[in-house]
Structure 1
Amino acid sequence: MSDFIPSTYDEWHHCITEICGIPLTEAYIRKRIDALNNHRDYMTTRFVELYGESQRQQTLAWFEQALSEVA
């Protein structure tokens, strides 16, 4: 399971909320969107190194979708 990379919003949402136990609050989502948009952020740089730019963009889109659901 540690090598699992979500390919859909539902898979991603399940990973964040159920497997990781992180509540998708508006504050948390906004913080992650800001970080994923900051190419100088260390964790964002590592994310891109590990998973690629297209996965960063997809994950950003999922956070934006989640924000539209909680806002």
Structure 2
Amino acid sequence: MHAPAPIPEDYTEWRHCITVACGIALTPRYIATRLQALNDPRDYHTQRLLAHYGQDHHRRLIAWFERAARESTRQGA
């Protein structure tokens, strides 16, 4: 049996988890979609995330997606 994947504790770990482990490109569209959902308290997935991981992790995710958005803008992605 595999151990559960650790929850990223910082931006670098989170970005590696998203882009390498999960193979998801952090495109401006993907980032915007995720930020919209994370900022919508009615979103089912956001509600589940809050229930399982709490407000602190939720706030970190928003900050990490916002940072990724700023970086993609600077890189012209």
Question: Which aligned runs of 4 or more in structure 1 are off by greater than 6 angstroms?
Answer: none
Superposed, 1:1-71 pairs within 5 Å as: 2-71=4-73
With 26-35 and 2-11 compared, the bigger mean Cα shift is at 2-11
TM-score, normalisation: structure 2: 0.89
- For structure 2, which runs of at least 5 residues remain unmatched after alignment? none
Deviation at 1:2, TM superposition (A): 2.6
Q: How many residues align?
A: 71
SS in 2 for 1:39: coil
User: Equivalents in 2 of 1:26, 1:2: separation in Å?
Assistant: 29
- For structure 1, which runs of at least 5 residues remain unmatched after alignment? none
- Which of structures 1 and 2 has the bigger CA Rg? 2
Deviations 1:1-55 (A, max 9, x none): 5341001100000000000000000000000000000000000000000100110
User: Equivalents in 1 of 2:5, 2:22: separation in Å?
Assistant: 14
User: Equivalents in 2 of 1:37, 1:23: separation in Å?
Assistant: 21
Percent identity between matched residues is 46
